[in-house]
Structure 1
């Protein structure tokens, strides 16, 4: 339906019959398809959720607030969208206390949608305060699935963005699912659920702190906009997320050497940019085509089981060509102790001689699966694995090895079977060199 219909007749001062439509039953019987939904601009859509959480709305402050199986979302379709041409998708996730209509008609949607020929989608996320965890996180992907069922999307062009709590969603989902996004753009977003003043945990719990797994953003450039006088998201947290806080034991994008832009507006408070229509001119060029790098040469991945919801299948144990990552232990380690635009870009890739070699740096990893084909490694040739680990574990190399392939650790043969389904490599603690030698003369 068009947006005015989604807001209801009472809110708009319309009589209920203004939204009535005559039904042509003969046309229905003949299979005639008609639609009054506009092909472009903003529409409100509904999808049937897989989750059965009950019916109605929770008025007692619980979550999820909206329980029914029909869930709404807002979708902006740019004027240049053609059904026979794949389009990019940008998620614009809503703030605390807001809903899916937050950005409708704004300058910001024009910048990240119309100006880039991208569809722009805003989920209800099951209510105004789910912080994009549990059912709220699940709702975002159900919405994405519904869009893909009705529009032709280019899965290799996707970006994520949001304001305030939606900015947290950008940090959270953009790093828990880095292989789904090419670019990320947060505005006045906190790095954790609630207020984060390092070295303290976020008010919503340490398990919500995206800085714990910020390493996952190696292949996703971020544009992060903050307000100097923000009364709801104190700038100390976003600054630590971007520039780091060495005195608090916090590493940010800067310390990690990742691509980022940290833009600090001041004087500005939490709602300044919202009142200006989410007008961030630099976002259009930064997001660009937001092309996803599916198989990067270098993957960093931090596994934080506390961020999961097993009951909903939201298990964050994989990205790119790394999957099934299990921890050797769940000790929390050392508690972190609690630095204006700063940016970094990467130049041309250096010319490095190509070798059939895999470098592994494993910390607290019990087991992990690695897809050799996607990592551009050849199991049919001699393969070297340089592994450094702080505990014993296993690395399952998925690839078609020839029967009779020998496995050596530091030059000494070890009893490991390799075959067409791969090999499970026992990783010893410390630094070791493993060589997998196919049968035949060397």
Structure 2
């Protein structure tokens, strides 16, 4: 057991002992109350997808207890009269067979068993929740499946050691062993069968109620069928139903070796059992155990005397996985061929499985300084994964950057979404996942939404830029590692297996005037050529915006990130976040001038995604068919000081004890001059804009007696003004209207126009 290390000085010792991560946790009994939906909102400027009530997880009607499944995978709790265990998600990969599928190369699974039938949805034996309890003379056993489109597919086995003696072998499951097995209960759509390991085979003892909505199997057994007067040592395994309620053993179909048991998933594996380093799905030790058949390490003590307790929701420090319920799943994600489960396609070049289930995982790091009840919320940081990677990339292969960004240099709650797959570029379904994860984190953790960094490597870097340019109001700053947003003239674009991946160039980055920006890139990058990265940073320079660009002279794309497992390859990036935090404190609110450029095709009204405006510009709409639209606006009531850009070029960064690679740094900072005089005039220039809303309260001119708006547009548009005083009259373009509920809508012509408030 790796105990909690409360002092940072001892943290690195703890990390080495715990497989590269802080695996400390708080005893749930020490927490006061549950950590539930009591936290801060997602920040202003986020799209509608980020807001609203969290979807509640339904409980199957046949389950007589309130639901208490922990939201942290790899943890359990007694709650509401039952015991609940939440397993890791998408970890049902069994032993490592001889033919590792191609789709597991990017984020390798520990096991490599294959699901041969379409009805198995590429994930049909994945345990999500295991629970058991007793009430009114009945013993209830429950399994929730992560993926279930055909109730006849999975089977679960409860191996019980509740008395002296027993056998080392699990009856009916070839090659599976653990000490002292007295009975095996099999749950499948065929019913609940019990095998007392006495040679008489399994006997049907109760029906199993299948609830497809919750993907749940529940069996109510006579309580005296298994003694509960003493604690149990319990093991749970899953596999594919042989049609009669047993485990199918299909070496050819599963691509397994003859001596490997036909088991895909084992419950009761925690973070000590599955150290995070190089463990992308938290199934490495599971696969090793199944290679030998000895699963004795993965058990849970069930103390029936504690069934009346309700423990708090586990809060785990260090790195872990959590889950949330998405608003979309299956064919809603755009591919009608997948009702649920995992796209395990092996055709094609791109390893890009999609994850179609309602329940989705995300990675989270909780620093040792985090206090749920503190008046000072924790910093909050996004770590977006690369192409072909998953939500555990940073814990598995970039652990030193994870620690520097989240623990040792700065204490921050850090989160990595799965993004519905390995190649979503944080657009469409991948972007929806991002915002829904943020909503979940904000509901359950004490985080500061006013100073949020988005960071990422490769695709994660591209995604970070894309999210910032769509929603500049939301983010405090961004860290761009081995990514770009521009195509240099030297090359037509950066290529990957899908073709050109970057947007049209740095033009959209003109939105980032008030965001911090750090970028690092290697000379020998094979996937995102250095000229593209250089052109991206040069865009920030040409706009006169603040940025830092570290050019690593001898680094590439692939090896560079893998080096971080040995030393902190990205220490300078984490240090920059510390410095920006110190100088700026929080995200910019209501700037006096801004540029907002957007691409209309990025708006998805059905999912509540896409660019809608920033700060006091809201509900923007582009002309039909426009490739882009742009608003340049300035409020005289929010005066900005004169900005004097100060460039720095050619600073050599020598290798040091943590970052073992030389770099050359350039950047641009601001010196601020005199403040402009305050006026009530608001100016805006519009290009290809069909409609916009100006919030006059946020622009600080609503109450001013000298307020007026000067507009210039290349076409007609609709203008909505909000935040007006009661009874305010508005005149423009031959219209004279009185505000209703602080709002007025004007039809404006092309060209120059003036709005006055007599």
TM-score w.r.t. the length of structure 1 is: 0.85
**Per-residue deviation, residues 84-119 of structure 1 (Å, max 9, x unmatched):** 231111001111111122111721112211121111
**Alignment partner of 1:400: what SS?**
coil
Conservation of the 8 A alpha-carbon contact between 2:729 and 2:736: no
Q: Is the alpha carbon distance of 1:158 and 1:284 closer, same or farther for their aligned partners in structure 2, counting shifts above 3 Å?
A: same
The answer to whether 1:165 aligns with 2:444 is no
Q: Distance in 2 between matches of 1:12 and 1:299?
A: 56
Q: Distance in 2 between matches of 1:371 and 1:17?
A: 63
Shift of 1:419: 4.3
Q: Distance in 1 between matches of 2:731 and 2:324?
A: 52
Give the match for residue 328 of structure 2.
51
Shift of 1:329: 4.3
Shift of 1:378: 2.2
Q: Distance in 2 between matches of 1:177 and 1:210?
A: 17
Q: Distance in 1 between matches of 2:744 and 2:726?
A: 11
**Alignment partner of 2:365: what SS?**
strand
**Alignment partner of 2:597: what SS?**
coil
Q: Distance in 1 between matches of 2:732 and 2:603?
A: 37
* Unaligned ranges ≥5, structure 1: 244-251, 334-339, 438-442
Q: Distance in 2 between matches of 1:394 and 1:205?
A: 36
Q: Distance in 2 between matches of 1:330 and 1:201?
A: 24
Q: Distance in 1 between matches of 2:594 and 2:521?
A: 28
Q: Distance in 1 between matches of 2:591 and 2:623?
A: 26
Q: Distance in 1 between matches of 2:367 and 2:483?
A: 26
Conservation of the 8 A alpha-carbon contact between 1:380 and 1:401: no
Give the match for residue 248 of structure 1.
none
Conservation of the 8 A alpha-carbon contact between 2:522 and 2:556: yes
Conservation of the 8 A alpha-carbon contact between 1:175 and 1:210: no
Q: Is the alpha carbon distance of 1:73 and 1:377 closer, same or farther for their aligned partners in structure 2, counting shifts above 3 Å?
A: same
The answer to whether 1:135 aligns with 2:429 is yes
Give the match for residue 75 of structure 1.
364
Single out whichever of 345-354 and 168-177 deviates more from structure 2: 345-354
Which among 214, 221, 226 is matched to residue 516 of structure 2?
221
Which among 287, 296, 307 is matched to residue 577 of structure 2?
287
Which among 526, 531, 540 is matched to residue 231 of structure 1?
526
- RMSD over aligned Cα atoms: 2.8
**Per-residue deviation, residues 274-301 of structure 1 (Å, max 9, x unmatched):** 1331522332342233622232222211
Q: Is the alpha carbon distance of 1:202 and 1:267 closer, same or farther for their aligned partners in structure 2, counting shifts above 3 Å?
A: closer
Which among 375, 378, 382 is matched to residue 91 of structure 1?
382
Give the match for residue 418 of structure 1.
739
Give the match for residue 400 of structure 2.
107
Q: Is the alpha carbon distance of 1:308 and 1:207 closer, same or farther for their aligned partners in structure 2, counting shifts above 3 Å?
A: farther
Give the match for residue 440 of structure 1.
none
Conservation of the 8 A alpha-carbon contact between 1:112 and 1:118: yes
Q: Distance in 1 between matches of 2:301 and 2:428?
A: 41
Give the match for residue 337 of structure 1.
none
Give the match for residue 391 of structure 1.
715
The answer to whether 1:270 aligns with 2:547 is no
Give the match for residue 249 of structure 1.
none
Single out whichever of 422-431 and 354-363 deviates more from structure 2: 422-431
Conservation of the 8 A alpha-carbon contact between 1:202 and 1:208: no
Give the match for residue 336 of structure 1.
none
Aligned residues: 417
The answer to whether 1:242 aligns with 2:537 is yes
Which runs of structure 2 are paired with 1:307-346 in the superposition (5 Å)?
Answer: 307-332=602-627, 341-346=665-670
The answer to whether 1:119 aligns with 2:413 is yes
Conservation of the 8 A alpha-carbon contact between 2:697 and 2:724: no
Shift of 1:374: 1.2
Conservation of the 8 A alpha-carbon contact between 2:329 and 2:357: yes
**Alignment partner of 1:391: what SS?**
coil
Conservation of the 8 A alpha-carbon contact between 2:494 and 2:529: no
**Per-residue deviation, residues 340-361 of structure 1 (Å, max 9, x unmatched):** 6331122236311111121111
Q: Is the alpha carbon distance of 1:322 and 1:198 closer, same or farther for their aligned partners in structure 2, counting shifts above 3 Å?
A: farther
Give the match for residue 7 of structure 1.
282
Q: Distance in 1 between matches of 2:489 and 2:306?
A: 62
Q: Distance in 1 between matches of 2:289 and 2:505?
A: 43
Shift of 1:31: 2.6
Which among 257, 262, 267 is matched to residue 544 of structure 2?
257
Q: Is the alpha carbon distance of 1:404 and 1:358 closer, same or farther for their aligned partners in structure 2, counting shifts above 3 Å?
A: closer
Conservation of the 8 A alpha-carbon contact between 2:600 and 2:621: no
Q: Is the alpha carbon distance of 1:350 and 1:23 closer, same or farther for their aligned partners in structure 2, counting shifts above 3 Å?
A: farther
Which among 382, 404, 424 is matched to residue 706 of structure 2?
382
Shift of 1:182: 0.3
Shift of 1:60: 1.3
Shift of 1:265: 0.9
Shift of 1:269: 0.9
Conservation of the 8 A alpha-carbon contact between 2:380 and 2:447: yes
Shift of 1:183: 1.0
Q: Distance in 2 between matches of 1:396 and 1:405?
A: 14
Q: Distance in 1 between matches of 2:301 and 2:528?
A: 50
Q: Distance in 1 between matches of 2:295 and 2:329?
A: 30
Shift of 1:174: 1.8
